[in-house]
Amino acid sequence: MSTPNLNADDDQIIAATQQWLEKAVIGLNLCPFAKAVHVKKQVRYVVSSATTPEVLLETLMNELQLLSDTDPEDIDTTLLIHPFVLGDFLDYNEFLDVADAALEDMQLDGELQVASFHPQYQFADTDINDIGNFTNRAPYPILHLLREDSIERAVEAFPEASEIFDKNIETMEKLGHDGWDSLDVGPAK
């Protein structure tokens, strides 16, 4: 498994994230909702220089507030990329509870939510190299901040939204590790 390039500058980190979004998330149709906000340039990319979970939490809360306060036509979703903290997936996974608690403390639960992507992403009860895990693997740890309203509109537009997970696993199984590696979008097996 490859590791993120921690010597990259912010522009390189964003470029790698955009490449992953375009080739994997949109290209493989892992998220049928991603293309529209990407094409409309409504995705905010933020690279955090945080080196501790505490500083990342502060950045996360600032970004949650900014997203809440901003017109969805300007920013519909935010990818908070944090290459220097929570590189270990188990630590990252535990931080997701902190992120959810921040949403509640800020009274933004029900308005916003946090989705998760990580170079070592692993679903419960799977082998680390299970190809299904790659649906949530990204070149860097990412907290994806989403609007609940946008999710609801997307689900209305794609009535089969409940089948996305199963279709993604099927896509990844057909693609296989060699196919994923050939995309050149991040962590390899």
pLDDT tens for each residue of 54-95: 999 999 999 999 999 999 999 999 999 999 999 999 999 999
Average pLDDT over residues 13-19: 95
Evaluate if pTM is beyond 0.95: no
Residue 31 contacts residue 115 (beta carbons within 8 Å): no
- pLDDT on residue 124: 94
User: What whole-number distance in Å separates Cα of residue 13 and Cα of residue 168?
Assistant: 25
Q: What is the mean pLDDT of the chain?
A: 92
33 against 125, higher pLDDT: 125
- pLDDT on residue 1: 43
Dihedral angle at the C-alpha atoms of 136, 118, 81, 139, nearest 10 degrees?
Answer: -80
- pLDDT on residue 134: 96
Neighbouring residues of 174: CB distance < 8 A, sequence distance ≥ 6: none
- pLDDT on residue 3: 56
Dihedral angle at the C-alpha atoms of 165, 79, 87, 186, nearest 10 degrees?
Answer: 70
Helix (H) or strand (E) segment spanning residue 93 = helix 89-105
Tell me the per-residue pLDDT of 103-117, one tens digit each, with 9 for 90 and over: 999 999 999 999 999
